[in-house]
Structure 1
Amino acid sequence: MSFLSPRALRAFGIVVVAQLVGGLETTAIFAQERFTPRHVARLRTVSDAKLSPFGTRAAYLLSVPRKPLKDDDGRPWSELHVVDTSGASRPYIIGKVNISSIGWMPDGQAVSFVTKRGDDKENALYIIPIDGGEARRVLTHDVGVGSYSWHPDGRRVAFVAGEKKPKKLNEREDKGFKAEIYEEDWRPSKVWIAEISDLSDPWEETADDANESEDGGEAAVEKSTPAVATRPGGKPRALDLPGSAAEVKWSPDGKLLAITLAPTPLVDDSYMNQKLHVIDAETGEIVTRIETPGKLGSFEWSGDSKRLAIIAAADRNDPAEGRLIVASASDGTYRDVLPNLDGHVTSIAWQNADTIMYLADERVTTSFGKVNADGSEQKTLVPSGKQVLSGLSLSRDGMSGVMLCSASTHPPEVFAMKHGDDGPRRLTDSNPWLSDMRFAPQEVVTYKARDGLEIDGILIRPLDEQRGKRYPLILCVHGGPEAHEANGWLTNYSRPGQVAAARGFAVFYPNYRGSTGRGVGFSKMGQNDMGGKEFDDLVDAVDHLVASGLVDGAKVGVTGGSYGGYASAWCATALTERFAASVMFVGISDQVSKFGTTDIPQEMYLVHERQYPWDDWAKFQQRSPVYHAPKARTPILILHGKDDPRVHPSQSMQMYRYLKTLGEVPVRLVMYPGEGHGNRKAASRLDYNMRMMQWFEHYLTGPGGDAPAWELDYDAEMGKAK
């Protein structure tokens, strides 16, 4: 772990941060290479970026995957970097580190972040000066620091954290009493206020300011353990609020706190029952509760501390938060300021006390616009059509901004835009080796479903496509279904993308009805019709591509995770005559038992099925892939994380057992220990990508028949000598 101390960094105007994905050295051997799982395993990603208050620098987090077969297995490392408006990017804290929750001190002189290192028992809050000096720990807490917000004076911080488990409970656990009381044995997260009392110490760097951390990297050593207090005794003050807190933000005038609270810390409550509260920071009393219905997204204070901009659901049954709401901080009244938007707002920031800038997903791209707080004078600054944007962050004067931007040829990177620019300008290139890769063409395809509804999707054509030749197709179905595919970067461990195109496949990503990006009405179209018209849209996509002359209708495969895994299982059973291979990931096979084993039953009822299993047992059974298992003739590869709380692993086990017992079709079940609802570790991601491609090649372009060998040659894939 390295804590670098760059000095006298050049100031710059504004930055837009896009997720970075990369990390391979550019060498001659990569020239005009085709994508393989090896390349996917090395991609780096920018996960967050924040612009400094004066718009001169942007701090960003770079996700760096571990190297399969070389590094200890685990999730990607998360590094802290800073980029200026000239595009000069410098590493600040790199190596074997896990940095999160980056922010800027109000004076713009230091970056704050959360991490655990050295003798830290839990995550702690650190700051690192931007122009020199080492990172210093400024706040610790018994159970770790979660989200946090600086007071405008930079001397106090509000943060979210739980309460320490009583000593008596720990003693009982040591004696073997470890019974887990399901959905009852929880403790709420609270909001605490702490005073950071030693920030006046000079930042001089000395030879003793660094030592070697246990992982062999360089690490800073804090000069002292700072006191944290808002009252005598040195203890942070916990606010006495109802429910469990998730996010907190201090108002610009320092008098109020905006806090999201749910009845419990259970996932279902955090999805469906969170409310935004305005709190008096001195007394801890609730000023108002903003009663937006349904799901709740991000929120931001206006510069005059009188209003809050909120991304929220339109109603209780809206599948996804995506409406731009402006609420009064004094009485909680609110209004939708973009009522006619047929899209989903994803990111917001106040340009001034009366104007909000926003990013909105519209079909398969993103628009960048602004609107007054009363809903007047809406203006599109960058129309949708060319870019995929996220993560908007503005300077204090609102004249500069940073955001994440991706395209078909690069994962999200840091882009910059300031007042008067025609569009965002790229600042970073975290995967320079991508310039030496061969990219298959990527394009937007719009087709008509059988009932006349217009559906969008993204097509990656086969690399080296020959005119007049038909190609095998992989249909890649997104989860949710309250999500959508955008015309940006579409290749990762579970999305075949450029890897499949390099091997002669066409890959199509359909935004079937129920997807986001086209307004509330479109996203509700699949409700109470699971596996119905939404999956008819998938077959209609295949028919369209076959009719276009590109696809061989006898060589069609399907894959997806979560709800996309449900689609993959449905296509392999109920629609088996249309699909020659399927790869199902953390998917649903039995709608009845899914309700009984998931951690989101309220969401499942309110925004998906709109009824309970006991309301119509027959329907829930008939919309379950296992119900159609006897007619399945599509070879299916089933993959699942053993610790998945969302879609229980038993869903995949049932699908496997039904098909294995029937014995009519090749089936394989792969379980990933230590993984949940999606793979996070380097080894399991590489394994997944290789197995997915092996299955499709075997059944769509290979010999077919019995399942391919289950053992994989990781050394050969990664180019290692045996």
Structure 2
Amino acid sequence: MPTPFDSLDSYIALPRIEGLALSPDGRRAVLTVATVKTDGTGFDRSLWEIPADATDAPPRRLTRSAKGEAAPAFTSTGDVLFVSARPDSDADEDDESGQLWLLPAGGGEARAVTRLAGGVSSIAAVAEAAGRVVASAELLPSADSIEAEAKLRAERKKKKISAILHESYPIRFWDHDLGPAEPHLLALDLADLRDTVGAVRDESAESDAASDEKDEKDAPTPYPASLPRPRDLTPKPGRSADAAGVAVSPDGSTVVAALRVPEGQDARYRLVAIDIETGEHTTLFDESRVDFEFPAISHDGSRLAFVRTDKATPDGPTQYELWVSAIDGSDARRIANEWDRWPSSLTFAADDASLVVTADQDGRGPVFLAPLDGGAPEQLTHDDFTYTDVHVDRMTGDLVALRSSWMAPSHPVRITRDRAVTPLAAPFELPDVPATMAEVETTAEDGARVRGWLLLPPDASAGKPAPLLLWIHGGPLNSWNAWSWRWNPQLAVARGYAVLLPDPALSTGYGLDFIARGWNAWGKAPYTDLMAITDATVARDDVDETRTAAMGGSFGGYMANWVAGHTDRFRAIVTHASLWALDQFGPTTDFSPYWESIFTPEAMMENSPHRFVEDIRTPLLVVHGDRDYRVPVGEGLRLWSELNRHFAAEDGSTEHRFLYFPDENHWVLKPQHAVVWYETVFAFLAQHVLGEEWARPANLG
């Protein structure tokens, strides 16, 4: 039976859920839903309301702007906050910055809450019992007011200046330049949002301008008096407000933020309490070479939870420790001391006696309950899903979350106190998928258990074994445990491939010792684990061991390159956004201190794939985007150059290919570019694995 995965155009047209927020009474949830634009060149995002209490009420669309909406959050009174670049009738027509908007719970149209020249980056935190919100926004460092900042931006825009003067490190992050604006945390009092008839004149600003005898055309435009004036909680921040988590007390009086502190070229995160009324900063937790991150405040406002992590060194990974303290930082103690997993999110349970925590676990991402009294964490969910966006219903103690697996994309569910998981209504049905999913595992050379997921076409059998595609995950501190719209093996299954998604050494969800097996030695246990589980998989009678390929992106691309230089067992290898020469990668990536701190110089050279270029016998498809700052395009360029130096024929031809995206990042996200990516990958695999003629994708000219 045909599925949407048989056609790339049908696949990118599938709607997808990207986020969830829960109302204070636990009865309503708001989803962020992304759908492809009518011309196929991008995505539109809208907000949908669904019943969160498992009633039969149908989903209801809340927003429809052409610019789209994202990152919803509820206020204490049930209004919905979100960020959008939708037009504001009271603002300049050419203003395309994303602002904070509020949709009243009682009905009516959304209205802007901010009008910052550079827009709002995100909603950082919302008070549970007060009308206060903390937003993240970028402000130019030379400005001493919101008005002056707007004027500086206008001058740069008018003169078409894009230059950035850097005075600190780093200067890039993933796919965008940092600066010249700096991140700030801004507090807003929603009670100051006023309804008006007509435009509001800011008489005080006019008076100030007159008294200073400023020419009216040179005076900054006053910030609207009808909007709550943002209160800067992090003046002159540098990059410190690139926060690793922000929480606000229920009464809205105190913000606890994980603020960045420079340590030479490197940085650490400390926990700081900020009094919103006075702006006073009090350091709660700060240690050299230690990160304090992901603060959460209890519902009664008395306690603080956070994650403490010693910086990793070449000697090995370190544990992500769960800690709790009083809200002022006193009585700090570690909980779940023996729990060998890395928390990915945490929040207080309804009764404040436990933490609700998510973490990778054995190829899944369950929800756990970690008691504050020091007891062992209890696993609440036991299915094959990974849970995200977990919210606590304070009225019932239930949880509302999103979950996904390789067989189902993100969808909303309710987890009741008796541990039952119930899917909630959604604006669309989950798509039919072509694959069946099985768990596979083997024993590595050192006795470690290595496992993964195997997705099979429905007709794979001993009489018709499927060709195998080994797909290696990125990270490397990661796990193949959740649906990905960008890296989707269902598309390969629809074309007849069996897809192996293994978790080798360095993968999360198996404990610190499993990660340490590959630490400072990427080319050793991670490689032998991959080969061992591939051996176990091709031993199945429904998999064709004579037709195999390997592929991966980021660290998976690194490992694809390493595989290419160490075995010729695969017919083709796809290497996307890959690390090729580690001595070159280290200083050029967007944050080199981390990567250079986890390797010894000797191991960095020993584990660099470029040393084995002359041993490559397998055709490679190299893929890279020029806007990739995590793995800079120089890695792909050098790999391509060295492949041609060693293997190009006299006429310049080569069996290798290089797919280059001048305006894409680490992931290649634009819908039609994703289509081109898959078309090229499948054409390359069809040529070398299936024995078909090379067919250049039409959209590549």
Does TM, normalized by the shorter one, top 0.5?
yes
Partner of 1:142: 117
- Using the TM superposition, give the Cα deviation of residue 532 of structure 1 relative to its aligned residue in structure 2, in angstroms: 1.9
C-alpha distance in 1 between matches for 2:370 and 2:100: 35
Partner of 1:412: 410
For 2:300, what is the secondary structure of its paired residue? coil
Contact 1:125 1:137 in 2 (8 A): yes
Partner of 1:467: 462
Residue 694 to residue 493, structure 1, CA distance change in 2 (3 Å): farther
Residue 589 to residue 248, structure 1, CA distance change in 2 (3 Å): same
Partner of 1:49: 20
Partner of 1:364: 363
Work out the percentage of aligned pairs sharing the same amino acid.
25
Aligned length: 636
C-alpha distance in 2 between matches for 1:181 and 1:201: 41
Contact 1:299 1:311 in 2 (8 A): yes
Contact 2:75 2:131 in 1 (8 A): no
For 2:517, what is the secondary structure of its paired residue? coil
Contact 2:413 2:421 in 1 (8 A): yes
C-alpha distance in 2 between matches for 1:332 and 1:701: 64
User: 2:108 is matched with which residue: 130, 133, 139?
Assistant: 133
C-alpha distance in 2 between matches for 1:691 and 1:599: 28
User: 2:620 is matched with which residue: 622, 636, 657?
Assistant: 636
With 185-194 and 297-306 compared, the bigger mean Cα shift is at: 185-194
Residue 587 to residue 143, structure 1, CA distance change in 2 (3 Å): same
Partner of 1:374: 373
Partner of 1:40: 11
For 1:657, what is the secondary structure of its paired residue? helix
Partner of 1:24: none
What is the TM-score normalised by the length of structure 2? 0.83
Contact 1:388 1:407 in 2 (8 A): yes
C-alpha distance in 2 between matches for 1:630 and 1:316: 33
C-alpha distance in 2 between matches for 1:304 and 1:65: 42
Tell whether 2:425 aligns with 1:428. Answer: yes
Q: Please list the CA deviations of residues 102-132 of structure 1 after superposition, one character each: whole Å capped at 9, or x if unmatched.
A: 1101012x11111112144422111112342
User: 1:591 is matched with which residue: 582, 598, 607?
Assistant: 582
The amino acid of 2:126's aligned partner reads W
- Using the TM superposition, give the Cα deviation of residue 264 of structure 1 relative to its aligned residue in structure 2, in angstroms: 6.3
Q: Please list the CA deviations of residues 532-587 of structure 1 after superposition, one character each: whole Å capped at 9, or x if unmatched.
A: 22112111121111233343333221111110111112222x22412210111111
Tell whether 2:135 aligns with 1:164. Answer: no
Contact 1:297 1:321 in 2 (8 A): no
- Using the TM superposition, give the Cα deviation of residue 135 of structure 1 relative to its aligned residue in structure 2, in angstroms: 0.5
User: 1:601 is matched with which residue: 578, 592, 598?
Assistant: 592
Contact 1:142 1:164 in 2 (8 A): no
Tell whether 2:442 aligns with 1:458. Answer: no
Q: Please list the CA deviations of residues 312-371 of structure 1 after superposition, one character each: whole Å capped at 9, or x if unmatched.
A: 536545768854332333235643322222333223221223222222321112333323
Contact 1:313 1:319 in 2 (8 A): no
Contact 1:197 1:227 in 2 (8 A): no
C-alpha distance in 1 between matches for 2:640 and 2:276: 55
Residue 541 to residue 368, structure 1, CA distance change in 2 (3 Å): same
C-alpha distance in 2 between matches for 1:255 and 1:629: 59
With 341-350 and 53-62 compared, the bigger mean Cα shift is at: 341-350
5 Å-filtered alignment, 1:634-713, equals 634-663=618-647, 666-703=655-692, 708-712=694-698
The amino acid of 1:547's aligned partner reads A
C-alpha distance in 1 between matches for 2:427 and 2:317: 34
Partner of 1:81: 48
Partner of 1:92: 62
Q: Please list the CA deviations of residues 457-504 of structure 1 after superposition, one character each: whole Å capped at 9, or x if unmatched.
A: 110123301225443211111101011011x536x4433x22222222
Partner of 2:202: none
5 Å-filtered alignment, 1:301-312, equals 301-312=297-308
Residue 415 to residue 540, structure 1, CA distance change in 2 (3 Å): same
For 2:526, what is the secondary structure of its paired residue? helix
With 422-431 and 30-39 compared, the bigger mean Cα shift is at: 30-39
For 1:691, what is the secondary structure of its paired residue? helix
Q: Please list the CA deviations of residues 226-279 of structure 1 after superposition, one character each: whole Å capped at 9, or x if unmatched.
A: 6345xxxx563444476521343220133311112113699x96xx62222122
For 1:684, what is the secondary structure of its paired residue? helix
Q: Please list the CA deviations of residues 398-433 of structure 1 after superposition, one character each: whole Å capped at 9, or x if unmatched.
A: 52321111234320101113333x422111345537
Unaligned segments of structure 2, at least 5 residues: 88-92, 143-150, 169-178, 198-222, 649-653
5 Å-filtered alignment, 1:454-533, equals 454-486=449-481, 488-489=482-483, 492-495=485-488, 497-533=489-525
Partner of 1:207: none
Contact 2:551 2:575 in 1 (8 A): yes
Partner of 1:560: 552
Residue 324 to residue 77, structure 1, CA distance change in 2 (3 Å): farther
Residue 183 to residue 692, structure 1, CA distance change in 2 (3 Å): farther
Partner of 1:65: 36
Residue 587 to residue 408, structure 1, CA distance change in 2 (3 Å): closer
C-alpha distance in 2 between matches for 1:154 and 1:162: 25
User: 2:75 is matched with which residue: 82, 93, 105?
Assistant: 105
Contact 2:306 2:323 in 1 (8 A): yes
Contact 1:163 1:189 in 2 (8 A): yes
Partner of 2:294: 298
With 582-591 and 410-419 compared, the bigger mean Cα shift is at: 410-419
Q: Please list the CA deviations of residues 638-690 of structure 1 after superposition, one character each: whole Å capped at 9, or x if unmatched.
A: 11111111111111111111112222661111111221111121111111111
C-alpha distance in 2 between matches for 1:633 and 1:128: 59
For 1:701, what is the secondary structure of its paired residue? coil
5 Å-filtered alignment, 1:572-587, equals 572=564, 574-587=565-578
Tell whether 2:273 aligns with 1:275. Answer: no
With 678-687 and 166-175 compared, the bigger mean Cα shift is at: 166-175
Unaligned segments of structure 1, at least 5 residues: 1-29, 204-223, 716-722
C-alpha distance in 2 between matches for 1:173 and 1:561: 37
For 2:666, what is the secondary structure of its paired residue? coil
- Using the TM superposition, give the Cα deviation of residue 443 of structure 1 relative to its aligned residue in structure 2, in angstroms: 1.2
- Using the TM superposition, give the Cα deviation of residue 393 of structure 1 relative to its aligned residue in structure 2, in angstroms: 0.5
Partner of 1:114: 83
C-alpha distance in 1 between matches for 2:108 and 2:48: 15
C-alpha distance in 1 between matches for 2:589 and 2:687: 33
What is the TM-score normalised by the length of structure 1? 0.81
Partner of 1:391: 389
C-alpha distance in 2 between matches for 1:367 and 1:433: 21
Partner of 1:195: 189
With 151-160 and 439-448 compared, the bigger mean Cα shift is at: 151-160
C-alpha distance in 2 between matches for 1:703 and 1:633: 20
Residue 401 to residue 334, structure 1, CA distance change in 2 (3 Å): same
C-alpha distance in 2 between matches for 1:139 and 1:151: 18
Contact 1:288 1:330 in 2 (8 A): no
The amino acid of 2:621's aligned partner reads L
C-alpha distance in 2 between matches for 1:177 and 1:151: 39
